Amino acid sequence: MKKLFVVYIFLILASQKSNAQGCVAIRAGGAVCTHQEAGADNSKGWQLNTNYRFFKSFRHFVGKEEQKQRVDQETDVRNWAHAMNLTLVRQFNNRWSMVIDVPISAFTRSSKYEHYGNASTNPNARRSTHAFGLGDIRVAGNYWLFNPAKSTKGNVQLGLGIKFATGDYRVQDFFYKNDTTAMLGPVDQSIQLGDGGTGFTTELNAYYNFSQTVGVYGNFYYLINPREQNGVSTSRGAAPSATAVRFGSSTMSVPDQYMIRGGANFNINRFSASAGIRMECIPSSDLIGGSSGFRRPGYVISAEPGVNYRFKSFTAFATVPVAIERNRTKSYSDKLRTVADGTDVHGDAAFADYSINVGFSVRF
């Protein structure tokens, strides 16, 4: 039977301000799935997976409701994200493997409110901040539950790992208050290179082939971040507001994040096409540790078409997740303020319409 080769690519995102594709910070380095085919042989070897992801976020949501006036009034916040993941896989035998994932990101964030203010009519009011460099490195071990030599139609892979705080989570840039005054301060959480916490990752990858032509796949990834806050100010160089201090959002949180994928693959010789659903999420509360600190929780559900082609020595792939539902959920501080003030408090976040993922995988 021809073996199904399903390429798993990274999440994002960012749990900071990069929305699951935008201001919800679902980080690129924290969610790269590196599922290999379950080979029946016991050969050892190395595999290099690369994944490049791009998106532009600019559509603001409060809950599931889009704030269309933000684009019309040109007060929208725009994030451009370029992320490259380099993932080295060591195959020890046909069941055990180890993964080292290294993300490198380049972010640009354009806004008015962080600089002159949304009410400003000055043509220079919209300014940009930037971040570029190494993200949070992840090391994980993976294990196929069933013997690939006997389970030839499908299998389930489990993975456990550690995400290290190697990415700079204190990146600073200048925020312009007028034509002559600029303040140096930490950039928005969504474009910070790391989250500042050591985390633990859990993974489940599965596939089943009905025939040589048709198969199904599923992925689940969860990043547990026990650290509650990383101590980086959210006031962009200014003094934090009394409200932010009171409700614990004056410094950045270190949030959990997760991804769920599932779909079907259709194979013809060396070519494979896939159609699936992808969900990326930053929850408002963490599994372990406190949930205080500034975060923009939310999720995006996307339709995810993809293609890959197996050449002689490597496989190339591309997927384009297209958002079908975006939801900026209430944060921990939103909930505290709602109870304390007796009024509904619900922050917003900007999401992308789609993202582009391309890459290749090579064994050597």
pLDDT in tens, 84-124: 999 999 999 999 999 999 999 999 999 999 999 999 999 99
CA pair distance 167, 14, nearest whole angstrom: 12
Instruction: Give how many domains the chain has, as a whole number.
Output: 1
Maximum pairwise Cα distance, the chain: 71
- Indicate the pairing of strand 65-66 with strand 298-310: unpaired
CB 310 within 8 A of CB 265: no
Report if residue 2 sits inside a domain.
no
Residue 30: pLDDT band (50, 70, 90) is very low
Report if residue 3 sits inside a domain.
no
Q: What is the pLDDT of residues 154-180, one digit of tens each?
A: 999 999 999 999 999 999 999 999 999
* Domain span holding position 231: 10-363
Q: Please check whether residue 198 lies inside any domain of the structure.
A: yes
Angle at 229 between CA 323 and CA 61, to 5 degrees: 25
Domain assignment of residue 21, yes or no: yes
pLDDT in tens, 136-158: 999 999 999 999 999 989 999 99
> The domain spanning residue 182 has which CATH number?
2.40.160.40
**What is the model's pLDDT at position 312?**
85
Mean pLDDT computed over 34-50: 68
Assessment of whether the complete model's pTM goes beyond 0.85: yes
pLDDT band, very low/low/confident/very high, at 250 (cuts 50, 70, 90): very high
CA distance linking residue 216 with residue 204, whole number of Å: 14
> What is the predicted pLDDT for the residue at 25?
59
Q: What is the mean pLDDT of the chain?
A: 90
Work out the pLDDT band at 44, boundaries 50, 70, 90. Answer: confident
Residue 6 pLDDT grade (very low, low, confident, very high; cuts 50, 70, 90): very low
Kindly state the average pLDDT of the residues 11-39: 45
- Phi/psi for 21 (5° steps) reads 100, 50
pLDDT of 38 reads 59
pLDDT surpasses 80 at 15: no
274 token code pair: 């896939």
Cα angle 25, 279, 102; round to 5? 55
Residue 29 has pLDDT above 60, yes or no: no
CA dihedral of 54, 168, 14, 105, whole degrees rounded to 10: 10
Asked whether residue 5 is assigned to any structural domain, the reply reads no
Q: Does some domain include residue 66?
A: yes
Taking residues 185-200, report their average pLDDT: 97
Is residue 40 in some structural domain? yes
Q: What percent of the chain has pLDDT over 90?
A: 85
Cα–Cα distances (Å) from 143 to 146, 173, 178, 283, in that order, read: 9, 43, 56, 27
Domain annotation covers residue 150: yes
Judged against a pLDDT cut of 90, whether residue 22 lies above it is answered with: no
How far is Cα 220 from Cα 281, in angstroms, rounded to an integer? 12
